[in-house]
Amino acid sequence: MTQKLLLKSALPAALTALLADHAVFAPTGEAERHAFTCLSSAEASETADAVNLDGLTTISPKEILFPRSETLYGIGLENGEISTPEPTGPTVIFGVRPCDVRSIANLDCSFLEKGFVDTAYVQRRENLTIIALACKELQSPACFCDSMGGGPASAEGADIMLTETADGKAFLVSFLTAKGEAIEKLWETASVLTEPNSADTAPPPPVCTLKVDKPQDLPAKLMAAFDDPAWERLSESCLGCGTCSYICPTCYCFDIDTEISGGKAEQLRCWDCCMFSDYSRMAGGHDPRPTKKERLRNRFLHKLAYFDERHGRTLCVGCGRCIAKCPSGVDIAHVIEWGGTL
């Protein structure tokens, strides 16, 4: 596999070339609003201003595949006619960090495996090309991707991998899949790629400072501790605010609800959170997880044990977002560490 060079000065042209026949999502905004948004052609050509490739986005890119709210179908209240939304076309996500790219494999497990295939998801997923960006520096002290099977330069799941050169003026570009090669052609045609010379090298990737000791048998250890009083302590400060799952790239639970507008009932799918108090309460009032202790335990066991049993992967890629943003200091790294000591 040969590497090409994409000069940062050629980024506007590269993004504009993609926009010809793709919707292009890239990180924009800053701080709390740092998130992936769909670029307009004006934003693409003014990349220097609009696209913000510095740091991990506050909001993960999962909403490109799994929107926070979407219409599954509409049904006419008078005529009972069913209408389904238009499928989305070819889409590129540009500048996704390795942890977030790995999180897509987790979403794939849930939406595509074990019997049913989710129609809306598979349609978007097949149309998606992932352009990943290796981390040149550590994004935050809460990053622990290299304890979770990934790493700041991991290309797992990427169609194209970008690695910033030591001088910071360009990206080394590897085209890793057929989808990636299709974009290579597009970029060749648009003359945005050049040949790297010997000076264009990438510095060694950073190493996460947060080290989490995750033993092989963590699922079994945590399951054996199902009745441990530690869950009660861990959940004491939790507010049930849902921030952790909202910003988590791998959390995929959803609610389905109905909304009426213009003579039509829209069946909507929205993000949900297992930490909300009414999450598993049934119509008759019975709730198998009545307090935050059971809810927090379910959240962490889902991430660290149940998902592994079902799909053979941990439902956490170590992006550190929940650690950085939980208002109460609930910390998944502590839970993993504690599990390891059991």
Binding to ligand SF4 by residue 107, rule CB under 6 A?
no
- Residue span binding ligand SF4 (CB under 6 A) among the ranges 24-32, 68-76, 262-270, 321-329: 321-329
Binding to ligand SF4 by residue 330, rule CB under 6 A?
yes
Question: Among residue numbers 264 through 303, which ones bind ligand SF4 (CB under 6 A)?
Answer: 275, 303
Shortest distance in whole angstroms from residue 286 CB to another protein = 6
Shortest distance in whole angstroms from residue 80 CB to another protein = 5
Question: Among residue numbers 170 through 229, which ones bind another protein (CB under 8 A)?
Answer: 223, 226
Q: How many residues are there in the chain? A: 342
Question: Among residue numbers 262 through 281, which ones bind another protein (CB under 8 A)?
Answer: 265, 267, 269, 272, 274, 279-281
Say how far apart CA 104 and CA 100 lie, in whole Å. 7
Residues 6+ apart with CB under 8 A from 211: 144, 147
Total residues contacting ligand SF4 (rule CB under 6 A)?
25
**Closest of 306, 320, 302, 332 to residue 238, by C-alpha:** 332
**Closest of 150, 187, 151, 149 to residue 171, by C-alpha:** 187
Residue closer to ligand SF4 by CB (options 97, 179) is 97
Residues 6+ apart with CB under 8 A from 93: 25, 26, 36, 61, 64, 128, 129, 130, 131
**Closest of 143, 191, 198 to residue 165, by C-alpha:** 198
Residue closer to ligand SF4 by CB (options 27, 249) is 249
Binding to another protein by residue 294, rule CB under 8 A?
yes
- Residue span binding ligand SF4 (CB under 6 A) among the ranges 8-16, 205-213, 225-233, 242-250: 242-250
Binding to another protein by residue 286, rule CB under 8 A?
yes
Shortest distance in whole angstroms from residue 139 CB to ligand SF4 = 11
Within its chain, how far is the Cα of 312 from the centroid?
18
Q: Which long-range contacts (CB under 8 A, 24 or more apart) does 321-326 make?
A: 321/56, 321/58, 321/60, 321/142, 321/247, 321/248, 321/249, 322/243, 322/244, 322/247, 322/248, 323/142, 324/140, 324/142, 325/58, 325/243, 325/244, 325/247, 326/243, 326/244
Binding site for ligand SF4 (CB under 6 A): 238-244, 247-250, 275, 303, 316-322, 326-328, 330, 332
Binding site for another protein (CB under 8 A): 72-73, 75, 77, 80, 82, 84, 110-111, 114-120, 223, 226, 252-258, 260, 265, 267, 269, 272, 274, 279-284, 286, 288-289, 294, 298, 301-302, 305-307, 309-310
